[in-house]
A and B are shown apart, each in its own frame.
Chain A
Amino acid sequence: MHPATVNNTEHLIEFQAIGKEYKVGDTTVQAIRQMDFFIDDGEFVGIMGQSGSGKSTLLAILGGLNHPSRGRVLLDGLDIYGLSSEQRADLRSEYLGFVFQSFQLIPYLTVLENIKLPMAITGVAAKKQDEMAMAVLARVGLADKTSRLPDQLSGGEQERVAIARAIVNNPPILLADEPTGNLDSATAEEILSLLHQLNREGQTIIMVTHNPEACCHATRTILVKDGTCTVQ
């Protein structure tokens, strides 16, 4: 990490005057006008808004994947966009776990291999990798499906594998983008309960959703509308 980018802050994440515009042909689209908020360690924050409100852009900026047009994102006091793209890759590996929309598992890797994927670049020994992967699989209730390929699993099971992959490296922050978007209500409730359980065990979770019911499990909700946000 770049020492010059470390700032004093009491929050785990700080969004400072973030704005984001896209160029689409000759037109400039304002995805985020201005957002300021913070998230503390151990919180379960729901980011809620309609489609096109800018909530996924917000999550991508939070995850170090999308450079904001202005403002700063501080993670543990570190300005993440003051880092090079390779340093941000290291930061994602160390600090962040992603649960993507539609699970996004690697189709040619088994459940166990998908879960071990983030460890392929961390230098953890093979035996230790297996132990860690089996431990998270047990946490998400899929210990008996290690050798299945993703297309041999139900939607709920795939979501559980995606969550297991996101937390296997024990990242301080879990980012989830519409984790219940492709699931029926019963399975969605199971997944939200799992996330709630993880949060109770100390995991910081930031979840993007358009479903108000999903935010019932969150300790705090950030409402996103027309590129601005309101913290509730």
Chain B
Amino acid sequence: MRLSDISFNNLRRRKAKMVFLVLGLLIGIATIVTLLSITESMSRDIEDRLDRFGANVVMTPRSENLSLSYGGITVGGVNYETVEFDEARLPEIKTIENSKNLGIVAPKVLGPAMVNGRNVLVMGVEFEAELNLKNWWQLHGTPPAGPDDLLLGAEAADALKLAAGDTLAINGRDLRVTAVLAPTGAAEDNLIIVDLHTAQQLLGKPGKISLVELAAFCRDCPIEEMVLQIAEKFPEAKVTALRQAVMSKMQSIELFRSFSYGIAVLVICIGSLLVFITMMGSVNERTREIGIFRAIGFRRGHVMQIILLEAMVVGFVGGALGYLAGNAIAFAVLPLVVKNGVFAGFNPTLGGVSLGLAVALSLLASLYPAMKASRLDPSEALRAL
């Protein structure tokens, strides 16, 4: 017979109380695990969507002059000597320390061209990268693929009266319109988008790049550090993080996380209260028993050990079952909460935290009842005999 045998026997033979205590903790931990699992999956989903939303870093040539544009209107009259990057140096971007966080690198060359007597802006892109980056673009026609294919912005197509399948001559070279972009309300509505190398030839800028858009696929990626790393590699470039996109991403995630933590704290408080009340009730019921323990020579520490061991076992069982139940609920509920949501899988860290939390919670809530029990005056307790 050891003190632990007393604890285990009490739990085994007072099944209803044990089940009630475990159930209280199970519900608490399961709620926390469910919420955190769903939040994790929702966060990933949001991050994926935001990452897919487009570039979050833009690299443009550094200029000594201030911009003469505001609200889409450019005050002209002065031509600046435009500085451009060498295309050959682009691979250097991939050598930055956080290169693993880099997703799409989409270089562009920009320049004016005369088409059907109109001045239009031609943008050369790597179609595959660009279409991946701007995945919200809706194309009427087939995606351009070859060096002689082009994509027309909605307004440009209207102005030039062209549709998919037409041919357009730019600076004496015939290019085929494979698709027209649905209106986006952004600058690309006015663009003629062609293959990067074709544009370099047409604009007389062989091997030159006007700007590079980058997408960093990452969870909480160190975007500011990445900006500094790219700026170090390209001192002639102005590298800007599109903070708004990053911040909104972070804010969305933080909002979900805060909500989950808030609920988790609430559930923890309710769970603790439940364990506390049950343990207090148990101690009051066991006054007689504790009196016997003390009368036959048990020290205060022995009585505390018995009660706290019971609490620890209850916490462990409640935590383990709560973790399993929480994952099962998350797995079942996720498709209903997040469209195309995928269960993030068992998280061993969350499992460890669940167990630790349940045991700590149970011990903490039982500490006062255990102290109260150990302080029972044996003569007072024996009066209940």
Binding site for B on A (CB under 8 A): 60, 63, 65-66, 85-86, 89-94, 96-98, 100-102, 104, 106-109, 113, 116-121, 126, 129, 149, 165
Contact = CB atoms under 8 A, between A and B. Distances in A.
A61 B68 CA distance: 99
Contact of A93 (B14, B288, B289, B297): B297
Contacts of B296: 92-93, 97-98, 117-118, 165
18 contacts: A60-B382, A63-B295, A65-B378, A65-B379, A92-B296, A104-B292, A104-B385, A108-B10, A108-B12, A109-B9, A113-B9, A118-B297, A120-B1, A120-B2, A120-B3, A120-B302, A121-B297, A165-B296
A94 B298 CA distance: 11
B299 interface: yes
B300 interface: yes
B14 A108 contact: yes
B9 A89 contact: no
A94 B292 contact: no
B300 A65 contact: no
Given A60-B382, A92-B297, A129-B1, A121 B302 contact: yes
A93 B1 CA distance: 15
Contacts of B9: 108-109, 113
Given A108-B9, A109-B6, A113-B1, A102 B298 contact: no
A106 B385 contact: no
A164 to B, nearest CB: 13
Interface string B351-385: 00000000000000000000000000011001001
B118 interface: no
Contact of B1 (A89, A90, A102, A117): A117
Given A60-B379, A89-B297, A120-B3, 15 more contacts: A65-B379, A65-B382, A89-B298, A89-B300, A91-B297, A92-B295, A92-B296, A92-B297, A104-B288, A104-B385, A108-B14, A120-B5, A120-B302, A126-B1, A165-B296
B13 interface: yes
Interface residues of B, number: 26
A109 B289 CA distance: 11
A133 B378 CA distance: 25
A102 B385 CA distance: 8
B294 interface: yes
A48 to B, nearest CB: 20
A108 B3 CA distance: 14
B375 to A, nearest CB: 10
A201 to B, nearest CB: 21
Contacts of B6: 106, 109, 117, 120
Nearest to A116: B1
Contacts of A65: 295, 378-379, 382
A78 B297 CA distance: 17
Q: Which of A85, A106, A126 has the most CB of B within 10 A?
A: A106
B385 A121 contact: no
A104 B9 CA distance: 17
A211 B257 CA distance: 72
Nearest to A165: B296
Contacts of A109: 6, 9
Contact of B382 (A85, A90, A91, A100): A100
A165 B14 CA distance: 22
